[in-house]
Amino acid sequence: MATLYENFITGDDNAAYTDSGRYDAQTFTTITTTHTVSSVNVLIYRDAGFAATTTVSIQGVDGSDLPDDTNVLATSEAVD
């Protein structure tokens, strides 16, 4: 089992609408460089009856702390 270094679960009841071609983001920064991020859990909902493919990616940041469009990890899942 992986060691839990950081976590954030509070309120867990907020939702935001997104659609095709739109990107939503959540940033996080590890508090130490002595461990590797080995997993991230994401809570995603969809409206009933709408099929879609959801892509989640973790990207590095540039010198301004903005995404640098380099995927450290990316995965897609068809949802129907």
| Confidence band for 46, pLDDT divided at 50, 70 and 90 | confident
**What CA–CA distance (Å, rounded) separates 7 from 5?**
7
* pTM of structure: 0.58
**What CA–CA distance (Å, rounded) separates 73 from 56?**
8
Residue 59 pLDDT > 80? yes
pLDDT at 33: 67
Q: What is the mean pLDDT of residues 58-80?
A: 84
E-assigned strands of the chain? 52-61, 67-79
pLDDT at 79: 76
Residue 77 pLDDT > 70? yes
- pLDDT, tens digit (0-9, with 9 covering 90-100), for 11-40: 766 677 777 677 777 777 766 667 677 777
